[in-house]
Amino acid sequence: MLTRTLAYIILFTIASSSVCFGQIKDQILKKVESTNPPKKKEETATPANPNPSTTTQEKKTDNPANKDGKAAFVTNPDLQLDPGAAKGVNTMTPGGEKKEDEVKLEGNARIIDTALFKARMSVKRRDMILYRKGLQNSTPFIHTNSYLKKRQLDPAKKVFGWHPYWMGEAYKSYNFSLLSAIAYFSYEVNPNSGEEIELHDWKTTGIIDLAHKSGCKVLLSVSNFGEKNNETFLKNPAAQNNLIENVITLLEERKGDGVHLDFEQVPLAQKNAFTNFVIDFASKLKSKIKGAWFTMSLPAVDFGNVYDIQQLNGQVNLFIINGFEFYGANSEKAGPVSLAKGGGNWWAYSLDRSIDEYLAAGAEPAKLIVATTLYGAEWVTKDLKYPSPSRKFVNYLLYRDIKKKVGFAGTAEDPEGLSNIYAYRDMNGNYRQIWYDDSSAIAKKCDWIASKKIGGIGLWALGYDNGYPKIWEALANKMAVAEKTAKAKSVIKSPGFLRRFMSIIIEVLTDPEVIMKKPRIFYSLFLMFAGMSGGLGYVLYRYSCSFGRMTNLLLKGSFATFLMLLIFILAMAFQLTNVSTALWILGGFLVGIIFFLILTRSFLSEKELP
């Protein structure tokens, strides 16, 4: 009777283990399939590439920029682009407060808007110009109302952000534990020599040490804007070599972690030169600085097919899509500045289309980051409902200034653009709309990005939300490991081997897929089970005769279990070969069963005395 009972227990244990490991195997295989989806041939429409250009009308001001660099800009309301100017229609009035006639959209409005979209895409250059002209408010940075709780980012998700030099010490309010990498903006390239036009406070900023304490990488952004500047630079090998040497030296001096390349409006004629420059830059950087990252910005729409993604994939760690200005200063409609999905109320270009086109071009999903905005735009519109034709563009606003303006008022959510709208009537009877991404929109964009199975989210620009921590809370909720999971991983406080052993076991039980993502876990598990198997084998060989029958059975059962686990871990390594993992796991269990039967044969063959 005892023999039969023990046999049932053994068979039940083996069956349960098989099911358990089978589930783990299925989870791992599903993870591998999701991170390496089968490539599909996609037909993408060739975007229109019209040549009309527009000019930004800037009104000069005598207001100097704050010398301490601690004030963030807001666009001067007089700095406006007339949406009717491209059509030969003047819809502007000097004051901008009187209601105006509706702009008549012509049949080729979509083509005209495409040209204007290209004209307003260079957001970083615009912001830089406005700061230098002194067009900023004097709101000081605050560090009291901040979300600084330490969190752990999900290993499969990345958060990228820019810190513009004009944001000064706003970085003291950043939650670096929620950032994978931050780009200090920027090393401004002199296209004739490769030397810096401006380096700002890169050599003295405290952002690097503060970020490193939380494991966040700090990259030096290298910027060059405009077709003419890029053509000049890319035709000059000496300037390119000079730039690469200078940047590597600056990174070594400050212990920076890599480079973010911000070259915008690269002409099609320089496509090959640009590709060669990127490969050369990344290769030299990574040969000089161990573990260095090389990331680069991509336009929301590659109108000229300038970026050879397949060639750049091997050198670039992250591609950041600049998801800005789908609607802005010269658009015919008021709409989402960072448009998630096109069609319906909005024009065809959108971030959804951007992602699909870059994936079709060969970008690795895990390397693709979508950057959204921490600023918004305001228009005088025909209606308070949306979409509404724009009567006049008013200005761009930082997130913190929008929140001050909106106060406790409710906002509408656009389900297509995944953006928010605050609509109101001003004191002069004009209808106005402010479009921006609040914390709710950021959270929904994080969910949408996860559904697209790409790398993560980016933010232009950090500090624009200073004083309003909800954005960081949204990132914590959507991009960080759940707190209960994080606590489970740190619950074991015992020192030494036991602590390490229990921490690894808890991490694997919490997320079995971690075996495939972290080589450290694989090697640790292998060494642990190999050591335990060897130790138990020695004890059984040397002292088994001194133990009772039940103790012997438990020791031998544990020995067989550890051997099975060891073979299972080895089977994971064969994911890299063409041998089926399922067969290796099955073989491992068969070997374990054989060992168990051999070791317990004498016990099971004994008969109970009457």
Instruction: Return d(Cα 258, Cα 251) in angstroms, integer.
Output: 7
User: Looking at per-residue confidence, does 325 or 542 come out higher?
Assistant: 325
Percent of the chain with pLDDT over 90: 55
- Split at pLDDT 50, 70, 90, the class of 495 is very low
User: How are strands ordered across the β-sheet holding 333-334?
Assistant: 333-334, 388-398, 375-381, 431-436, 419-425, 412-414
Alpha helices in 204-342 (DSSP H): 207-213, 227-234, 237-254, 271-288, 309-312
- Split at pLDDT 50, 70, 90, the class of 97 is very low
The burial of 540, by beta-carbon neighbours within 10 Å (0-12 exposed, 13-18 middle, 19 or more buried), is given as middle
Per-residue confidence (pLDDT) for residue 64, from 0 to 100:
34
Instruction: Return d(Cα 291, Cα 285) in angstroms, integer.
Output: 10
Prior bond of 186 cis (ω within 30°): yes
Token pair of 600, please? Answer: 């317990």
Instruction: Return d(Cα 287, Cα 358) in angstroms, integer.
Output: 28
Instruction: Return d(Cα 438, Cα 432) in angstroms, integer.
Output: 18
The sign of the dihedral angle between the CA atoms of 539, 541, 544, 549 is positive
Q: What is the DSSP letter of 167?
A: G
Instruction: For residue 184, give the 3-state DSSP assignment.
Output: strand
Stretch 517-543: mean pLDDT, rounded? 64
- Split at pLDDT 50, 70, 90, the class of 386 is very high
Q: Over the stretch 32-56, which tens digit does the pLDDT of each residue have?
A: 444 444 444 343 333 333 333 333 3
Does residue 497 register a pLDDT over 70? no
Contacts of 542 (CB under 8 A, 6+ apart): none
pLDDT-wise least confident of 189-198, 299-308, 494-503, 526-535: 494-503
Pick the closest to residue 239 from 168, 204, 304, 190 (CA basis): 190
Stretch 501-519: mean pLDDT, rounded? 61
Does residue 200 register a pLDDT over 70? yes
Instruction: For residue 116, give the 3-state DSSP assignment.
Output: helix
Please report the DSSP string for 47-78 in residue order. PP---------------PPPTTS---B---TT
Does residue 573 register a pLDDT over 70? no
Q: What are phi and psi of 514, to 5 degrees?
A: -60, -25
512 to each of 27, 500, 532, how far by Cα in Å? 7, 17, 21
Instruction: For residue 468, give the 3-state DSSP assignment.
Output: coil
Neighbour tally for 426: CB within 10 Å: 11
Per-residue confidence (pLDDT) for residue 441, from 0 to 100:
97
Pick the closest to residue 365 from 36, 41, 38, 30 (CA basis): 36
Instruction: Return d(Cα 83, Cα 233) in angstroms, integer.
Output: 33
SS3 for 240-254, per residue?
Answer: HHHHHHHHHHHHHHH
Q: What are phi and psi of 431, to 5 degrees?
A: -80, 135
Stretch 285-306: mean pLDDT, rounded? 96
Best-predicted range by mean pLDDT among 22-36, 233-247, 400-414, 594-608?
233-247
Per-residue confidence (pLDDT) for residue 345, from 0 to 100:
92
Q: Burial letters for 550-576: b for 16+ Cβ neighbours within 10 Å, e otherwise? A: eebbebbbebbbbbbbbbbbbbbeeee
CA angle 339, 343, 349 (to 5 degrees): 50
Neighbour tally for 29: CB within 10 Å: 15
- Split at pLDDT 50, 70, 90, the class of 144 is confident
Instruction: Return d(Cα 243, Cα 199) in angstroms, integer.
Output: 12
Stretch 71-92: mean pLDDT, rounded? 36
Per-residue confidence (pLDDT) for residue 8, from 0 to 100:
45
Instruction: Return d(Cα 44, Cα 348) in angstroms, integer.
Output: 12
Token pair of 78, please? Answer: 């007089």
- Split at pLDDT 50, 70, 90, the class of 483 is confident
SS3 for 548-588, per residue?
Answer: CHHHHHHHHHHHHHHHHHHHHHHHHHHHHCCCCHHHHHHHH
Pick the closest to residue 347 from 56, 82, 111, 105 (CA basis): 111
Per-residue confidence (pLDDT) for residue 434, from 0 to 100:
98
Say if residues 117 and 447 touch (Cβ distance below 8 Å).
no
- Split at pLDDT 50, 70, 90, the class of 587 is low
CA angle 18, 20, 21 (to 5 degrees): 65
Instruction: Return d(Cα 76, Cα 61) in angstroms, integer.
Output: 9
Best-predicted range by mean pLDDT among 8-17, 129-138, 146-155?
146-155
Q: What is the DSSP letter of 427?
A: T
565 to each of 67, 149, 297, 589, how far by Cα in Å? 64, 38, 45, 9
